[in-house]
Amino acid sequence: MTATTLTRDPRQPARISSRLGDILAQRGIAPDTAAQEPAPEPVTTLERAEARIPARFRHALANHPQVTAWADAIARAGRPGPGGAPGIAEGPSLRIVGPTGTGKTHQAYGAIRALLAAGVRLRWEAVTAADLYARLRPRPGFDSERDLQSLMRCPLLLLDDLGAAKTSEWTEELTYRLINHRYEHLRPTLITTNLTTRHLRQVLGDRVASRLAEMTERVILEGEDRRRRKPVV
Ligand SMILES: Nc1ncnc2c1ncn2[C@@H]1O[C@H](COP(=O)(O)OP(=O)(O)O)[C@@H](O)[C@H]1O
Ligand SMILES: [Mg+2]
């Protein structure tokens, strides 16, 4: 059997560029001018990381003192990784609680942005509880266990709107496994919820509520629904 090496015919690019030169000449364009495209702007790591943040929260600034203090503490606790930048370490978690529209998700993405801006080498995932349950729904040909394991192990997880989705024994068990793993391994987790501690216990069960009580610092957001605020004239 003969091994085939995939190489480009070296004459091919020369032929193409000479043909291109002819076409440009016919149109009165000097080939050099056409080649001078503006250099692409370099994309920074921060910009690449921020591209994963939903557009609405791409410029979110965490301005709640507990949230900024948490981001500072996590950034300080980071150990230097292979590239020298600090990686995210074990640490505390936050539970951002408040009625709809008070800025919970904004504060959570603001915290992620603060860590990225501080240069923390950050592998993070964000998912709403409702999307999580839809995404992990058992179905043929999909390894939901693998997906769950990656969320359990992710160095930083934002679990948005916990307790807002329809629940069942299955969602309770899944939430328990996710939270328990992160609880046991002290993995920083940002949780947002509309539910008070008592309601969380009713909706998610006492095993989850009890772990959340220990592993998270509670941040309470108050005020009116920012989405329904009258614009200032
Ligand atoms: N601190 C803030 N500064 C400016 N806009 C904010 C702030 N907090 C929230 N918002 C805006 O208010 C709206 C509701 O915020 P959001 O975080 O989605 O609320 P929640 O998650 O509590 O339902 C969004 O449009 C968001 O961009
Ligand atoms: Mg929200």
pLDDT per residue over 140-199, tens digit each? Answer: 888 899 999 999 999 999 999 999 988 899 999 999 999 999 999 999 999 999 999 999
Query: For residue range 204-225, what is the model confidence (pLDDT) as tens digits?
Result: 999 999 999 999 999 999 999 9
Q: Give the structural domain span for 56.
A: 46-78+89-227
Using DSSP's 3-state secondary structure scheme, residue 93 falls into strand
In a domain, 233, yes or no: no
Percent of the chain at pLDDT exceeding 90:
63
Q: In this structure, are residues 94 and 190 in contact, taking their beta carbons and an 8 Å threshold? A: yes
Instruction: Tell me the whole-structure pTM to 2 decimals.
Output: 0.81
Distance 174 CA to ligand 2 centre (A): 21
- Is residue 162 within 8 Å of residue 204, measured between CB atoms? yes
Q: Is any atom of ligand 1 closer than 6 Å to the C-beta of 56?
A: yes
Q: How many structural domains is the chain composed of?
A: 1
pLDDT band (50, 70, 90) for residue 69: very high
Q: Could you tell me the end-to-end alpha-carbon distance of the chain, in angstroms, rounded to an integer? A: 79
Confirm whether 35 is domain-assigned.
no
Please indicate, yes or no, if residue 4 is contained in any of the structural domains.
no
Is the residue at 14 inside a domain? no
37 in a structural domain: no
Relative to the CA of 109, which ligand 1 atom is closest? Answer: 17
* pLDDT at position 12 over 70: no
Query: Which numbered ligand comes closest to the C-alpha of 108?
Result: 1
- Percentage of the chain beyond pLDDT 70 is 79
User: How far apart are alpha carbons 5 and 108 in whole angstroms?
Assistant: 51
